[in-house]
Amino acid sequence: MRIKIGHEEFEVRIDGRDTAPALLLSNSLSSDMSMWDDQIPLWSQRFRVIRYDQRGHGRSIVSPAPYTMEQLGRDALGVLDALGIERAHFCGLSMGGMVGMWLLTHAPDRIERAVLANTAAYMGPVDLWNGRIAAAQGGGMEALVDATIARWFPEPFRLAAPETMQRMRAMILNTPVVGYQGSCMAIRDMDQRESIKAIRNPVLVIIGSKDPATTPADGEAVRAAIPGARKCLLDAAHISNIEQAAQFGAEVDAFLG
């Protein structure tokens, strides 16, 4: 379904009963809401699961770059507002987890429990992101897809799951270049290392033990900064909800209670 936030349109999908507690999902850079497909059958049994394509991704608005983490966070709030939802659980992976940190520090009353997966409060260096922005400008997403897949999944999983890899490649290649660049700028310019120390909501931090993008050290730093945050370590690289789909789903389901 399409919803309007101001004059901008976002793609949203809802699974589960209308009367169930709301669970908002936020996707990673270079992906779309379909990244959560493996978890929907479980989570929709107990939750009203709301997925949306982040700005610049999937079928949502592709506005001009740059983007900011505040802008992406306000998009998430706009989705809740458009659906008349005052409070929701939250689960975001990578960039989606960064959006979750912004929500927890700027709109904590809108969030119940939050899962921050394979994410970081700060991701330098600046040159890394400028390089990716330039690569997308010069060669489109085709110039980035192979390196992205290699960061997302370890080689044994890539070889064992060729159909999943085809789906992931298509998702990356379908990401609008401007949306990718704008989101890279939001991540490049983000530093939430101090602000997340004020979070008081219940939080689960999911860490991939083989994650080369948001490393175990990055995840541990997030967990250590948030008072009372729990940790779940999965045998996975960056997109842990696909590599360890069943365990990821069960861990989140148990945490949300």
Residue with tokens 């901008």: 8
- CB-based contacts of 156, cutoff 8 Å, min separation 6: none
Give the architecture (CATH level 2) of 2-256: 3-Layer(aba) Sandwich (3.40)
Dist CA 161 CA 132 (whole Å): 27
Q: Name the pairing type of β-strands 230-234 and 203-208.
A: parallel
Domain ranges of the chain: 2-256
Mean pLDDT, contiguous 10-residue spans, the chain (257 residues)? 96 98 98 98 98 98 98 98 98 99 98 98 96 98 98 98 98 98 98 98 98 98 98 98 98 97
In this predicted structure, what is the pLDDT of residue 198?
Answer: 98
DSSP 54: P
pTM: 0.98
